Every structure is written in structure tokens, then in C-alpha cells.
Structure 1
Amino acid sequence: MTTIRTLLLVPALLASFACDASAEVDEATRKAVIAELGAKMNEFYVFPDKARLVAERLNAREQSGAYRSATDLTAFAAMLTEDLRQPTNDKHLGVRYRAAPIPPDSGSKGPTPEQEHEFGNFLKSRNYDIRKVETLPGNIGYIDLRSFAPVKAARPALGAMMNLVADTDALIVDLRHNGGGDPHTVAFMSSYLFDKRTYLNNMYWREGNRTDAFWTEEDLPGKKFGGSKKVYVLTSKKTFSGAEEFSYNLQQLRRGVIVGETTGGGAHPGGVHRIHQHLGAFIPMGRAINPISKTNWEGTGVVPDVKVDAEDALRTAERLALTELLKSPSDDEHAQRLRKRLDELK
């Protein structure tokens, strides 16, 4: 098995597979790709019964000539993605073209050292998708995070990010453009928002029929934001996967106020599998099971506590935070500053 990466990260990871052009597709290539994709689905997809339906659909579509209109691998990948999702409604499922050849099956269940190095450099070049960290008027911390990069690589950067907002009086975490990431990173970042060890989520994996429990960590670099100050999480229709887990966990634990739009609705972690030297298929191999709701956000998305258009979410969250802080200002001067900023936002 060649699994490039096992994450809740889909858009950010698979974006690195995209390109402007791809090779032509002949009949032999179509048949080989469909056979390999069907086999991978049957072996790894978290729902075996749905995997069989998908494999049957792919074969039927090929026999009907539906894929003959695919002029290149990019178009073929798009058609395959549609046929993976139609019977499953699983937005994580997808096939992408990659210009650089994907290494053949190494027999390893994890990435090779070369793949680890390549992916580490890719994450570093994006500064682990930390787009902005600042203090807004009223001493409100603000973080704009575009993915939950693997904690093994991103821990120092994310720890520094959380330390910069540790002494703010309220925190806004902007996930409106966050496509997901590593569940261990979700747990790591969440750890800064609780005073004691807290049960966050479960991940069930088809392989081994096992369930992994995710808790907050106690041994963290730097200072915690803590469990008493208000946290607001901004969401949009683009918020997906691991970003949804972060939002959903905080909502279920009543630790954060979700502000914005209902999220994309993807709760199935998995990995990228080689189905052709230039095609990788993301196949979910597990599913989230929240310990409180006993379910997850798959298909439904995370429904915000305060529903507003994504473009209005930050301003709305600022107003909510300032209004809350005005309930217990440190002194009259502090109250005056908070009211001034609140008036500006109105």
C-alpha cells in the first residue's frame, strides 16, 4: 500500500497534486485505474458496503462508455471524483492528478523519509498555514489559521502562536478558510483552551476495528489561554474536515461560540493512495465519533451558534466579545475603551 498521508487534511494536501495539464487517457489506462481504484476502495474505505457500491458504479460507468469523453488525466480524475461521491455523499473522497510521478507501492503503511522531508518543506514554505496572529482593540486575540498542519512538524510554530494570545481577554479563531488537518494538531491547539485534561473526540478506524481517543495535552510549550475566557470560532462553507472537528469539539463541550456559516460536512479521515503513476485517491479510512453527541458532522456540517454571512463573522464575533467583556471591566477607563470600539463596529 502506498499511503502518502493519513490526515483529516484534504484541500490543502491535495492542492499540491494539482497542475495545469496532464497526459491523455486511453482505454487501457482507464480500465487499469478503475480496477485499482475499486480495489483500494474495497480494501480501505471506512464503510465496506458503500465501497462495493462505488466499485460497481465505476465498472458500470466504464462499460457504458461514460469515461471516453475524458481527454486527459485531470478530466478523468474529476469524473472519478464525482462517481465516488454520488453514492456515498462523502466529500473527502476524491482523485487528483499529480505532475510528478507518485512512488510505487513500498509496502509501508506510512510515508517514506523522502516523502516526510518533501511534505515538511511544503509545510514550512506555507509557515504551517498560520496566516495572521494579532491583538485586536479591547485586548482580543485573533488567529487566522488556514489548516491544522501535522503537529510533529508544526508544534513549535503553533505553540508560539498560542503563546502570543495567551494574555488576551478573549480569543477569535478564524477558520473560514481552513480545509482541515491532523486530528493530533486539533487536540494540541485545543489543549491551550482548557484548564484540565479534557476528552475531545474519538476516531474509529476500519483497519484493526479500533477506536483512538483524543484528549487535551498537559505538557505544553509556554502558557495556556485557559478555560475561563471566551473563545469565538469563525466558520464558513469552506471550513472543512479537521477545522470542523475543532469547531464541533468546542461546541459540544460548550467551550466556544461558533460564529458564521454552516461548515462543509466532512468527518472521515483517511489518506492518499496511488492508483496510477500520476493519480492519487484520497480514501477515508475512519470516522469521527464525538463522546458527547455520539455522532459527528458528516453531511450536516457544524451549525453555528450565531448564524451570519462569512464576511460578517469577524465583526460579529468582535461585537460579541466586547459586549461580554463590558460585563466586568477592570475599571472605568477600560469600560470606556471597550464602548468606544463597540461603537466603531456598529
Structure 2
Amino acid sequence: MPTTETIIENALDRIVTGYVFPEKTVAIEAAIRGRLTAGAYADLDGPALCAAVTAHLQEVCPDKHLRLLWTDEPQSLDPVDEDGGQAAFLARLRSENQGIRRVEQLEGNIGLIEIRLIASATEGANAIGAAMQLVAHSSALVLDLRGCRGGAPEGAAMWCSYFFPDDQVHLNDIYDRSSDTTRQYWTAAHLPAPRYLDRPVHILTSGDTFSGGEDVSYTLQARGRASVVGETTRGGAHPTARHAVAEHILVTVPTARTINTVTGGNWEGVGVAPDVPVPAEQALETALKALRPGL
């Protein structure tokens, strides 16, 4: 296990060279180095060290994707294996059914899809299509994102594509610091299941809904394509790379930022505000009452 000083130095190096807002890295580096010099981390290791450094990072820069994370799964420290956490993310998606927890047909011919992770648009396309095929003939749809903790931007765009008629909707842009480029995200031209058009869609959210789950919620809400029911989400809008700085410690560094084409902004730090605010545990019941008032 590297020393605490080495872990923090490696983490700061990743933040300084990769964080999407380089002008903020001077203050970040000064704050963490100051704590290190003062001995704030001297008696900490493992999860406790990660929690302390994360709290101090977010004290000076309240970006919820900027974190030091403990992982029980050992990580390779070999530079040739460095991929920003992509391989681990894809493996997790495979083990969790591409993020789709359940698909149901509820009373009143209302479809329900519970999503825990937003899959990639490549490996996840067939699973997303299978879920959408099962609800294709429902009269209304509920997307349960209350437990959705994140995922892939291109996967979020694919989920959103099902609710628009063609490939002519410019959903959002993502600016990437490392390449100094902006990538546009549009609705997909071809999908493996029918599009879900001209029927109501309600999205359920909680204070735990994060990142990719917020992307889907914010995008469909901004376009007037879905009503959001539940709690204001957690507020993390920056696509992020993960780098191993010790065998069991990762630093997560936001390397890009999302720009919604309707609002010109995103949900970073503020979350997605629901159209119908209710406690998360009441969100499904509330949505169903709105979708089937006669039942």
C-alpha cells in the first residue's frame, strides 16, 4: 500500500491535469496540501482516508463527482491498464442486467421500467430495446430512476431517443477538457424497439438519483416529454474518469461538462427539481394516480 502522501500526491496530479475547470485546481491543490502538511490525514487509511479527503475536496469545490473512493475490488496500477474506469463500469453493467432492475405491466396498462444504471449505447442497446419492447403497447409509462446512481452519456441519449419521433432532436452537448472539444448528442436514427410517442411518461426521482439518472430526467423534462415526480436529485452533471491511486483507492475526476440545448445549463450542484414534489417513497403512488385517475 502506498503511503498516504503518495496517494494524495497521485490524486492531486490527476485532478490538476484532468479536472474540467482548470481554474479551480489551484485552490483545490492548496487546500488538500495544506491539510496534508497539517497532519489531517496522518492517522487515516482506507475508507476513512477516502471520506476525509472527499469532504475536504468538496469543501473547496462542491462538485459531487470529485471524490476519493475506496473499492473492495483490487485495481491495477499498471499504466497499460489505465482506461478511466471503463472496463470496470462495463463489467458492472453486465453483472447488473445493463442497469435494468425490472419491467412490469401495472394495472390500467401502465408500463414500469426500473433503472439502476444507465448502460452504454453499444453493449446496452439490446437490453434497453428489450425493456422498451415490453412496454411498447402500454398507454403510459413510468421510468423509476429513484435508485439510479449514474452511467454513460451516450446511453442516456439512447434512452431519451425512444421518446422522440426521429433523429432530429439535439439533446445536449458535452465539452471535454482533455481534447478541448465539444461532442453533440442527438436522438438516434435507428433503435432496436419501437419509439414511445404520444403517450405520457412520468419519471420517479429521489435524493439519491445521480449523474446518468439525472441526465435522462433533466433532458426529458427540459423538452417537455416527461413529468418528474419525487425529490430533487443529487446534482452531479460532469462526466467522470476514475483512476487508481492505490490498489483499493480511486480518484474520480470530472473531465467534461454537460450543456443542455434547451436550458443552456445543467443540473450540477442543484439537481433536477421535480414537477410534482413528494417524498421518494410516495412517488410511484402519486404518478399512478395522475396516470389513471379513473381507477
Q: Same fold (TM over 0.5)?
A: yes
Gaps of 5+ in 1: 1-22, 324-338, 342-346
Provide the C-alpha distance between the structure 1 equivalents of 2:90 and 2:268, rounded to a whole number of angstroms: 29
Query: 2:145 pairs with 161, 175, 197, which one?
Result: 175
The one-letter code sitting in structure 2 at the alignment partner of 1:38 is L
What is the aligned counterpart of 1:219 among 173, 185, 190? Answer: 190
Report how far residue 277 of structure 1 moved: 2.9
Correspondence for 1:313 among 270, 279, 283: 283
Query: 1:193-247 CA distances to partner (integer Å, 9 max, x unpaired)?
Result: 1112211111111112111111110211121212x11110011101111111111
**Counterpart position of 2:219:** 249
Q: Which residue of 2 aligns with 1:160?
A: 130
Rounded to whole Å, the distance in 2 between the matches of 1:302 and 1:93 is 19
How big is the shift at 1:105? Answer: 4.2
Query: Could you tell me which residue of structure 1 aligns to residue 5 of structure 2?
Result: 31
List 4+ stretches of structure 1 deviating above 6 A: none
Q: CA deviation at 1:320?
A: 1.1
- How far is 1:69 from its partner? 2.7
Q: Distance in 2 between matches of 1:35 and 1:263?
A: 32
Q: Is the 8 A contact 2:84 2:242 kept in 1?
A: no
SS in structure 2 at match of 1:143: strand
Measured in 1, the distance between the counterparts of 2:181 and 2:190 equals: 26
Structure 1 letter corresponding to 2:49: F
TM-score for the superposition, normalised by structure 2: 0.94
Pair 1:85 & 2:49 matched: no
Q: C-alpha offsets along residues 110-165 of structure 1, whole Å, 9 cap, x if unaligned?
A: 369xx73x654432222122111111111111111111022222211111001111
Matched residues in 1 for 2:118 and 2:273: separation? 20
Q: Does 1:293 align with 2:263?
A: yes
- Summarize the Cα distance change of 1:168–1:125 in structure 2 as closer, same or farther, 3 Å threshold: same
Matching residue within 25, 29, 34 for 1:51 = 25
Which has more helix, going by share of residues? 1
Supply the distance in 1 between the matched residues of 2:277 and 2:84 (Cα, whole angstroms).
Answer: 40
> Aligned-pair distance for 1:54?
1.1
Provide structure 2 residue ranges, at least 5 long, that are not aligned to the other structure.
none
Give distance in 1, aligned partners of 2:74 and 2:140: 47
C-alpha contact 2:93 2:117 (8 A) present in aligned 1? no
In structure 1, C-alpha distance between the alignment counterparts of 2:266 and 2:23, rounded to whole Å: 20
Q: Please name the residue that 1:64 is paired with.
A: 38
| TM-score, scaled relative to structure 1 | 0.81
Q: Match of 2:122, SS?
A: helix
How much is the aligned-residue C-alpha RMSD, in angstroms? 1.8
In the alignment, what sits opposite 2:176?
Answer: 205
